[in-house]
Homo-oligomer: A and B are copies of this chain.
Amino acid sequence: MLRLSKLADYATVILSFMAKDQARIAAAVEIALATGISLPTVSKILKLLVNAKVLTSTRGAKGGYFLAREPSAISVADIISALEGPIALTECSLSKQTCEQASGCGIRGNWHLINQTIYNALESVTLADLIRPVVSPEEISIPLASLYHSH
């Protein structure tokens, strides 16, 4: 299904909630209550987002979490990679030299291009976009094919 992990999905819900009142610092418990996601899980996600510098935290009483930057400066790619690590469809796209499968690894070079395309797609959409009312596109087209076929 080429699926997003549940955790990454939750992360977008959490961040969307936080982005609505950007200035405010929110504690994990509060976020758990607001989103309906269990506290331990919320905590885990928040920690990962802090490590990825998407959120900033302050400890102690009255502490909590807040966005490290503007929603428009937080991409979907940032969110996904915070939770799941680098965005790539295939292993060998991450480390070009290690991939030495029997027969057919020359084949994979082009996967790198596909990965890059998908990354760019995810990088181009931000948290600010996600909390905006839904747009209904007529048609979306990607110029990737032209890279291949224009010769």
Number of interface residues of A (CB under 8 A): 59
Interface residues of A in 12-34 (CB under 8 A from B): 12-13, 16-17, 34
**Chain B CB within 8 A of A61 CB:** no
Contacting residues, chain B, for A125 (C-beta < 8 A): 110, 113-114, 144-145, 148
Interface residues of A in 66-105 (CB under 8 A from B): 76, 80, 84-91, 101-104
Q: A2-B89, A36-B102, A141-B143 are in contact. List 9 more A-B contacts (CB 8 A).
A: A2-B88, A12-B107, A35-B104, A36-B103, A106-B134, A113-B135, A114-B122, A118-B121, A121-B144
Question: Contact residues of A with B, CB < 8 Å?
Answer: 1-4, 9, 12-13, 16-17, 34-36, 76, 80, 84-91, 101-104, 106-114, 116-118, 120-122, 124-125, 129-135, 137, 140-145, 147-148
